[in-house]
Every structure is written in structure tokens, then in C-alpha cells.
């Protein structure tokens, strides 16, 4: 199999647990990583936007990457979030991830600068020149810039640019990329609730927020879809749909951190400017978790009967 196609299946964009004092909570992080690996996800993605990466210092980033890579210990691929809106910093972060042994790097389109397509290409080329496989990341809702299918396809020709995480929610744009990309270039969904539809038309997986909460169910859904077992994938998709929706009832990672805290995996702490979710949304999250747990328990009981 082509080296480029190893980024396939479910990647969890893991949250960054903090202590009440605001330090990274590595004990909680161990619990979360074990939960993901035992749940069968194929990729761990530290310090994406779900990981509150803008609030992480350079020293913390190195320690965090090293901790995750060593703890995961090849039980899943580690794709380090190294992108910033400064190419030099992005390259330095990517070099650090490569040196520490990450399997890949996730590089977002630069935010705030609003580069032209040619600027995007040069930015991604600089990251690709480091030598580590790079997944580029299009997320217009956070960056204020939608990278067109044409630009993504240009980037797909760059050495070491191996995939795109597409969070534009534009199915036509995604299908244009899938149809015209090199055969060893993967599109990964960046929208949890569009994962199954995108896999049906040729996507190779997802980098997900919701899989923090339900790694087993989410990764099973994706594997069913990749194996062409669409009825099974659709069934899980609809079981998880309300959870996927409520995970974005406020800015990510607020809802997913609230859910993980309710489950006892982490404690719910953030770094400003993020704050805890509103009480009414917390109730919605709890209701969905209770309903989902009920559904899963009923299915388990049916299988045992």
C-alpha cells in the first residue's frame, strides 16, 4: 500500500485536559488516550483546534507532542497539529514533530493573514519540505478563508502533502477534490456528521471531535463505511447524529470537554478566552449522553439475548 494512504479511518482531534490551575493534566490525558486506543481509532491528533492549540506555549507543545508520541507507542498513528498563521513557526513546529517521531503533521490554512492561493501553496510546500507526511486542513469557519478545490488539488501535487482534512461542509467541493486528486491523496472529513456521506463518495476517513466521546462506535461506523457496509454505517450514523450535533452547540471544544467531564475522563477546565458551556447547553449535552447510553445498552442486551 502506498505510504500516503496510511492516513485512513478515524482520527480523534483530542482535547487538551487542564488542571484547575491551568496546567496540562497529563494524568487525565493518559486516560483519554487509553480510551481512544481501546476504542479502536486509527489516529490520534494532538493540538488541533480541539486541543486549544493557540493557548499552548512552545515549551508545552514540545512536551505535549513527546508525551503523546511516547504514550501512544505506535498503537495508533500520531498526527501532530503544527499549523499556525506564520510559515516559519509552522515549519519549526513541523520539524519538532518530525524529530520527536510523529507519523504526520496537520497544517491548517493560515488564519487572519488571508493568503492568496499562491501563498497557500508556498506555505504548504514549506511544511512539506520538512519531510514528514502533511495533512492540510481547510476550516473556513475558523480561518475566514475557504481553500478552493482547485488550490487543494494543486497542493496535492506537492511532495509529502498526503491528505486534506476538509471542513468546508461543501459536498460539491469535497467531491471535486476526491474525483480529481492523485490516487494516493486522501480526503478526510472535517465535519463529523458528513463522514459517512463523504466516505460513500470516496473519502478515506475523518478527523473527528465526537470520537473523543464515543471512539468505539465512531470508528466502527467509519470502518463499516470504508468496507462498503453502508447499512451498518448508516445505522450507527443515525444513533450518533444527535451527539454529533450537540458537540457543536457552542464553540468547540466547549461541548466535548463538558461531555468528557460528565463521563469522568477529564475535569472541565479551559484556558481563556474559552469558558465553560452555558447551563442550558450543558443540559442538552447530558440529555444526549443519557439517551445514547440507553440506546447502546439496549443493543448490548439484545446481542446477549
Active site residues: 137, 165
Helix ranges, the chain (H): 26-38, 58-72, 87-100, 117-128, 140-143, 149-155, 171-180, 195-200, 215-226, 230-246, 254-262, 279-304
CA angle 256/259/260 to nearest 5° reads 90
- Measure the CA–CA gap between 188 and 301, rounded to whole angstroms: 34
What is the C-alpha to C-alpha distance for residues 231 and 256, in angstroms, rounded to an integer?
Answer: 27
Residue with cell 491548517: 108
Q: Quote the CA–CA distance of 203 and 16 in Å, as a whole number.
A: 27
Residue 145 to residues 113, 148, 152: CA-CA distances in angstroms?
A: 9, 9, 13
The string of DSSP codes covering 19-76 is: -TTSSB-HHHHHHHHHHHHHTT-SEEETTSGGGTGGG--HHHHHHHHHHHHHHHTTSS
First to last CA, the chain: 41
Bridge-based pairing of strands 134-138 and 77-81 is: unpaired
Q: What is the 3-state secondary structure (H, E, C) of 163-175?
A: EEEECCCCHHHHH
Amino acid at each position: 500500500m502506498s505510504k500516503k494512504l496510511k492516513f485512513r479511518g478515524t482520527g480523534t482531534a483530542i482535547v487538551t485536559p487542564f488542571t484547575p490551575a491551568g496546567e496540562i493534566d497529563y494524568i487525565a490525558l493518559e486516560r483519554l488516550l487509553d480510551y481512544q486506543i481501546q476504542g479502536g481509532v486509527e489516529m490520534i491528533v494532538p493540538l488541533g483546534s480541539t486541543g486549544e492549540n493557540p493557548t499552548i506555549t512552545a515549551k508545552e507543545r514540545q512536551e505535549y507532542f513527546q508525551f503523546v508520541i511516547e504514550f501512544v507507542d505506535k498503537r495508533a498513528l500520531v498526527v501532530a497539529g503544527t499549523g499556525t498563521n506564520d510559515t516559519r513557526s509552522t515549519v519549526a513546529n513541523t520539524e519538532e514533530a518530525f524529530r520527536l517521531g510523529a507519523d504526520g503533521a496537520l497544517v491548517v490554512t493560515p488564519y487572519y493573514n488571508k493568503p492568496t492561493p499562491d501563498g497557500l501553496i508556498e506555505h504548504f510546500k514549506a511544511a512539506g519540505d520538512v519531510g514528514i507526511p502533511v495533512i492540510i486542513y481547510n476550516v473556513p469557519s475558523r480561518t475566514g478563508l475557504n481553500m478552493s478545490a482547485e488550490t487543494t488539488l494543486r497542493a496535492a501535487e506537492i511532495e509529502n502533502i498526503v491528505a486534506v482534512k476538509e471542513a468546508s461542509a461543501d459536498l460539491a467541493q469535497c467531491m471535486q477534490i476526491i474525483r480529481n486528486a492523485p490516487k494516493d491523496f486522501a480526503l478526510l472529513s472535517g465535519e463529523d456528521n458528513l463522514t459517512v456521506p463523504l466516505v460513500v463518495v470516496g473519502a478515506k476517513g475523518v478527523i473527528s471531535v465526537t470520537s473523543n466521546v464515543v471512539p468505539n462506535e465512531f470508528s466502527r461506523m467509519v470502518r463499516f463505511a470504508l468496507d462498503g457496509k453502508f447499512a451498518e454505517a448508516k445505522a450507527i450514523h443515525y444513533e450518533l447524529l444527535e451527539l454529533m450535533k450537540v458537540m457543536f452547540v457552542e464553540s468547540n471544544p466547549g461541548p466535548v470537554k463538558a461531555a468528557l467531564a460528565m463521563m469522568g475522563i477529564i475535569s472541565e477546565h479551559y484556558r481563556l478566552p474559552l469558558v465553560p458551556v452555558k447551563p442550558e447547553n450543558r443540559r442538552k449535552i447530558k440529555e444526549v449522553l443519557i439517551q445514547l447510553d440507553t440506546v447502546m445498552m439496549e443493543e448490548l442486551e439484545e446481542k446477549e439475548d
